[in-house]
Chains A and B, each alone.
Chain A
Amino acid sequence: MEQIRNIFKQYLHAYMHHQWDGIKDWFDRDTAIEYSTAGSARGYDAITKILRIPDVTFHVLTTTITNTITKSESQYTTLWCIVHHLHGMEVNNALFPLLYGGKYQFVCDFEKQKICSVRFDLEYEYGNTILAAKCWDLYEKTRFKRIIKNDGLYQMERESADIKTVVYKILWALDTLDQELFIQYSTNDVKIIRAGVDGDSYCLFNHKQLSGFMEQDKQYFDQNQYSVSIKEIKEVSNQRTSVTAFHLSPGKPGNKHLGFDTKYTQFYNEIIEMEFLQAEYSWKLTGMTITRKEIPITYGYESIEL
């Protein structure tokens, strides 16, 4: 699984810097990409052409990867994750950022040593969107389009998953309004208390309310995605484990500013506390509390996986 993470990071580096030579051998004429923003292409030349933002030179390029899930089936390995892309220009210590993020599905054939497919669904955008508008579709055009299907994320019979993977699948289900996926990894009486922005809150008390809760959550927060950094996994008892995660919100820095001095800062705006019960083959979510708290953390890296 480390191998696909490494190839994906190389791909992201090539994408951000438009320096594809180092990863060229991983493409063949069947390699296909499908981006909700840039569209579809097949083969090295076509792919590298459409992924470029023309006429702009960016000096600041950062990527942040979160919520990584991996899975292998025969020679194919798939990686799902969330990526935040920051392309920026700097003049006199002022930053001109174009920031966007979304979900990736990245499939490799390690027998052939090839990238099979790359899919991307845009989930939010921020800053100098006009720079990308010339060549890409942006959020208002793509918001109801879903390129990545969740098929590969469903739990197969007797398939076990580690707790981080379950956390990411639960959050993926909330982002994509996928009740089936959520139900697979939660107990019937799962309870969620979700803070709003004005001291208000809304709740989920069982699976029957799931559809309404998911809709409400989507409508309440514009351009939201549950991108997280897991901070603590704690065994509460023999069969119970708690997880604390910070909710990453690069497009909503709250009272802070995305500027020249914070280009390597991650802006978190919520703390997510989750509790899991060990079921027969997998962990199941029993409770989740989301509270608001602005936490900026400067890691100082151009590329980071949280």
Chain B
Amino acid sequence: MCNKYEDFYSGPNRIAMHRIFCSFVECLRTDDFRVLKELCTADCKCDFSTAGSMIGIEEMENGLKWPGPSMDISKATIWNFVARSRGGAGRQTAYIQCIRAIDDGISVYPFLYGGQFSNTFVCENGEWKLSDIRFDLCYEYGNNCFVKDKWTLMDYSILCGHKPSINTELDNPWLVIPEDDEPQTDEEQIFELMFKYAYAFDNGDFRFLQTFVTDDFFINGAKQSKDHCDRIPEPGDFQGHREISDFLRGKFHKEAKMQHSCRMTAINREGDRALAYMLRGEEHRLKNRVLNRNNIHSVFATAVHLIYAVKTAQGEWKMYKYRIEPYSEMVTVDDDCMLYDEHILTGGAGWNR
């Protein structure tokens, strides 16, 4: 993990969990599991919807190995990272998006997949370790024959696409650990509103949604950008818990498994109000583009999420308006780049809309 991330995250527990999770994803990306015993407890449980269930380091080393042919390109990026801890127990969630591809010098033959982690950590002798790892595949795309007969993939006709490893309520880090030992900075809290929203929406927990939005929460989905105060009803606009949970539930039922992967791009803050820009990346939905040798080494943005936040009298940040605007961007990065949050890497200054 680069120092900028260690500077951004508050609290040594969160930093430690971030570092361990990044190392774990790096093991998956490189297919090198030698450090696994340093990251996980000896009896660590691991439940992947793709690769199955494993217990202990040896089973994980075997079970998590890339089962497909040798690849020329291997990428894995981490999105929506959340970590909470209380009294030596930690709970952490994140999305990953991965690309494995053969490059024959003319074309690339990519296999893409994305999914959700919900992990449990324990602190043993002052050292944080993963004790339970749960992964649910959210999408797969491209040359999925690389893992045919090896991994369980998506049956898009059923909810979740497969037997879920993650339980919406039992694995929700904000419910499991309602009070974090480590208070977060304002910036962390503001960006985390989007990660909470993604968790609620993607996992269908609309009661949880009510806990971090204002009573007059406004989804400005109409073409026209507008303030929630002077709302003119238009198709695509929704306001209040009842209207919004009904709308989101309808969307939730239309997809097997959603993945709102966003990165921390920029914040404009004025006193107790803030507007966070968070670029959404959907590597399997590049709109007018197709993955090729020129663009495969990129991190992609396919929309910008606008999070309007207000700090309540109790000092808690809540989301009062949410809007998605179309946006496309490709930034070339090294294949080993696992984290790409403009706000952390460049202070958001490099991002202009």
Contact = CB atoms under 8 A, between A and B. Distances in A.
Nearest to A127: B142
Chain B interface category by residue count: 20 to 34
Contacts of B106: 140-141
B143 A94 contact: no
B314 interface: no
A141 B149 CA distance: 30
Interface of B: 102, 104, 106-107, 109, 139, 142-146, 148-149, 152-158, 223, 255-256, 285, 287-290, 292-293, 325-328
B107 A140 contact: yes
Contact of B145 (A130, A141, A223): A130
Contacts of A89: 145, 148
Given A129-B143, A197-B288, A221-B288, A140 B157 contact: no
A127 B109 CA distance: 9
A140 B102 CA distance: 14
Contacts of B158: 93
Contact of B154 (A129, A139, A257): A257
A260 B156 contact: yes
Contacts of A222: 288-290, 292
Contacts of B139: 257
A196 interface: yes
Contacts of B287: 197-198, 252, 254
Given A222-B290, A223-B290, A259 B143 contact: no
Pick from A129, A255, A261 the residue with the most CB of B within 10 Å. Answer: A129
A130 B143 contact: yes
Interface in A65-94: 89, 91-94
User: Chain B's interface: helix, strand, loop or mixed, by majority?
Assistant: loop
25 contacts: A92-B152, A93-B155, A93-B157, A93-B158, A94-B153, A127-B143, A128-B143, A128-B145, A129-B109, A130-B109, A130-B145, A133-B104, A133-B107, A197-B287, A198-B326, A198-B327, A199-B325, A220-B288, A221-B288, A254-B287, A255-B285, A257-B256, A260-B156, A260-B157, A261-B157
Interface of A: 89, 91-94, 96, 124, 127-131, 133, 138-141, 196-199, 220-224, 251-252, 254-255, 257, 259-262
Nearest to A130: B109
A92 B155 contact: yes
Contacts of A259: 154-157
Contacts of A138: 107
A78 to B, nearest CB: 31
A112 to B, nearest CB: 40
A269 to B, nearest CB: 9
Nearest to B142: A127
A146 B157 CA distance: 39
B49 to A, nearest CB: 12
A96 B326 contact: no
Given A93-B155, A130-B102, A196 B288 contact: yes
Given A127-B144, A133-B109, 6 more contacts: A94-B144, A129-B107, A138-B107, A140-B293, A199-B326, A255-B285
A290 to B, nearest CB: 12
A198 B154 CA distance: 29
Nearest to A56: B145
A83 to B, nearest CB: 19
Given A196-B288, A222-B288, A262 B145 contact: no
A99 to B, nearest CB: 11
A196 B326 CA distance: 10
A204 B220 CA distance: 32
Nearest to A137: B106
A197 B328 contact: yes
Contacts of B223: 199
